A and B are shown apart, each in its own frame.
Chain A
């Protein structure tokens, strides 16, 4: 019987990647956490709701859904904050909310671990239209991936060139406001929160600014951070994710959940 539920909200940094020398073994840090909890006899269930390239707007939207509308009581939320400058487009919010509940067993089949399947959590970067679950996440990199375009991609590019909230430093201020609101939301619902940042946004390298909301920032906390990245997107493979779990996530999780 499940006694405690863990909600994980992240972006691609919380999905599974393989190490460079072993691309076929892929573990997300969230699945590693649940595996370790199983090994220690905890009756927990982890819901990894992370989607590739998710925006802070989608993370906020999804957090509200899971805390307020999903009919599940979570005992811990772990939010891996995504970077500013991303946008999410949704074809139909009701359909999207429906899909938020449709998590499936994880990549490695760890017991009591659910996540968005890879194919459903990737946006369509070929046509830049909605994917099979009716959403599209864009950032500067993904929007520049193909020659094809769509009204969503055009809107994203125009926003980044000209809209006041996205073409100026205001995007960092908006990101921080939303991060604070996500923290307030968890406090309001009595859900303990671990909130961390993968790396500081290059567009605003002000360490103190970003420290206002995150418990820790991985790129600041791991001296040899880049040794663990497996691609230009700063993703970790198994080796990096194990280190992240061992040194940063798991001690905080155990501290929050108590004894099994």
Chain B
């Protein structure tokens, strides 16, 4: 049995194309395709909607000791922040991987309903965390100390509102890749969307960037958040992810 760890954000969760009743994430689709190829494999999708790079880094350090044969990092966007009520409680939550949305064998993920942050009151959700980005932080008129802190940081803090914010994100991304490699685990690292305000050098440490490397990528989007449904996720897998996964399987798994 070989094990694949996926760390992403909403771009690695399940969405449906218009008129399609099936919501499926690319990691669950990948697991299905690997099973179809007769491979003995498990995929753990730890992605959370609106996850920050800080949460992704934290989660990688939490999950990495659990013996993986491949790690796939879908880096989240910049200017996101994660607040946790209690770190130990949050770590306990990370262990609650459950069967996937479509019940694909050998696939687990963090439960959809309890993984979403509370963007109505901006308090902690039932697992004691809150992810924010500029969009979710302005989706409701209600507020909380976390939302206020987030908005203040976006306006004024050096780490969130200057050039250093995106550079810090790249530093963390590089550190995450190096950490996985230091454990002799193959890693695939990519970005779903490169904000146009960032130049192409922002991708240099990555295997690929979907918005730059997937032809007609805008045609696959199902909402304003650049999410993919089954059609886009199938294309993403076929063109960019699966060739690299199979390369790793051939050589390492």
Do the beta carbons of B172 and A177 come within 8 Å of each other? yes
| Neighbouring B residues of A178 by C-beta, 8 Å | 168, 171
Q: Mark B49-69, 1 if CB is under 8 A from A, else 0.
A: 000101101100000000000
User: Provided the pairs A57-B164, A170-B54, A170-B57 are in contact, do residues A163 and B83 lie with their beta carbons within 8 angstroms?
Assistant: yes
Is A58 within 8 A of B158, CB to CB?
yes
Question: Is the beta-carbon distance between B81 and A87 smaller than 8 angstroms?
Answer: no
B156 and A158 within 8 A (CB): no
- Contact across chains for A170 and B164 when beta carbons are under 8 A apart: no
B148–A154 touching, CB < 8 Å: yes
A-B contact count (CB 8 A): 90
Query: Hey, which chain A residues are within 8 Å of B55, CB to CB?
Result: 164
> Which of chain A's residues have a CB closer than 8 A to the CB of B85?
162
Whether a CB of chain B sits under 8 angstroms from the CB of A208 is no
Q: Which residues of B contact A64 (CB under 8 A)?
A: 163-164
Which residues of chain B come closer than 8 Å to A151, judged between CB atoms? 148, 152
Q: Which residue of A lies closest to B175 (CB)?
A: A177
Given contacts A93-B162, A154-B149, A177-B175, contact A163 B82 (CB under 8 A): yes
- Interface residues as binary, B145-173 with A (CB distance below 8 Å gives 1, 0 otherwise): 11011001100111101111001100110
In the complex, which residues of chain B have a beta carbon less than 8 angstroms from the beta carbon of A60?
164
Which residues of chain B come closer than 8 Å to A164, judged between CB atoms?
52, 54-55, 58, 81-84
Assess whether A35 is interfacial by the CB under 8 Å rule: no
Q: Which residues of A contact B213 (CB under 8 A)?
A: none
With an 8 A cutoff between CB atoms, is B87 at the interface?
Answer: yes
Q: How far is the CB of A84 from chain B (nearest CB, A)?
A: 12
- Name which of B85, B87, B161 has the most chain A CB atoms within 10 A of its CB: B87
What chain A residues lie within 8 Å of B168 (beta carbons)? 174, 177-178
B156 touches A90 (CB 8 A): yes
Query: Are B157 and A155 closer than 8 Å at their CB atoms?
Result: yes
| Contact (Cβ within 8 A) A181 B171 | yes
Give bound CA distance, A224 to B54, whole Å. 39
If over half of B's interface residues share one DSSP class (helix, strand or loop), that class is named, otherwise mixed; here it is: helix
Interface size class of A (residues with CB under 8 A): 20 to 34
- The complex places the Cα of A60 from the Cα of B163 at a distance, in Å, of 11
- Partner of A168 from the list B58, B156, B164 (CB cut-off 8 Å) is B58
Are the CB atoms of B158 and A88 closer together than 8 Å?
Answer: yes
Residues from chain B with a CB closer than 8 A to the CB of A167 are 84, 87
Q: How far apart are the CA atoms of A163 and B130 in the complex, in Å? A: 9
Specify which chain A residues have a CB less than 8 angstroms from the CB of B164 in the assembled complex: 57, 60-61, 64
* CB of B206 to closest CB in A, whole Å: 18
B87 pairs with A159, CB closer than 8 A: no
Is A87 a contact partner of B149 (Cβ separation < 8 A)?
A: no
B81, closest chain A residue (CB): A163
Residues 156-184 of A contacting B (Cβ, < 8 Å): 158-159, 162-165, 167-168, 170, 173-174, 177-178, 181
Residues of B within 8 A of A87 (CB): 157-159
Residues of chain A lying within 8 A (CB to CB) of residue B175: 173, 177
If the complex has contacts A60-B164, A163-B83, are A155 and B153 also in contact, measured as CB distance less than 8 A?
Answer: yes
Task: Name the distance in Å between A53's Cβ and chain B's nearest Cβ.
Answer: 13
Bound-state Cα–Cα, A170 to B156, Å: 21
CB-nearest residue of chain A relative to B90?
A164
User: Shortest Cβ distance from A150 into chain B, in angstroms?
Assistant: 9
Please measure, in the bound complex, the distance between the C-alpha atom of A102 and the C-alpha atom of B234, giving whole angstroms.
56
Which residues A106-165 have CB closer than 8 A to chain B? 151-152, 154-155, 158-159, 162-165
Nearest 6 CB-CB pairings of A with B: A158-B149, A155-B152, A155-B149, A89-B156, A162-B83, A57-B158
Given pairs A60-B164, A64-B164, 5 additional interface contacts (CB within 8 A): A90-B156, A93-B162, A152-B156, A162-B85, A164-B81
Where the two chains meet, the residues of A that have a C-beta atom closer than 8 Å to any C-beta of B are 55, 57-58, 60-61, 64, 87-91, 93, 151-152, 154-155, 158-159, 162-165, 167-168, 170, 173-174, 177-178, 181
Interface positions of B (Cβ within 8 A of A): 52, 54-55, 57-58, 81-85, 87, 145-146, 148-149, 152-153, 156-159, 161-164, 167-168, 171-172, 175
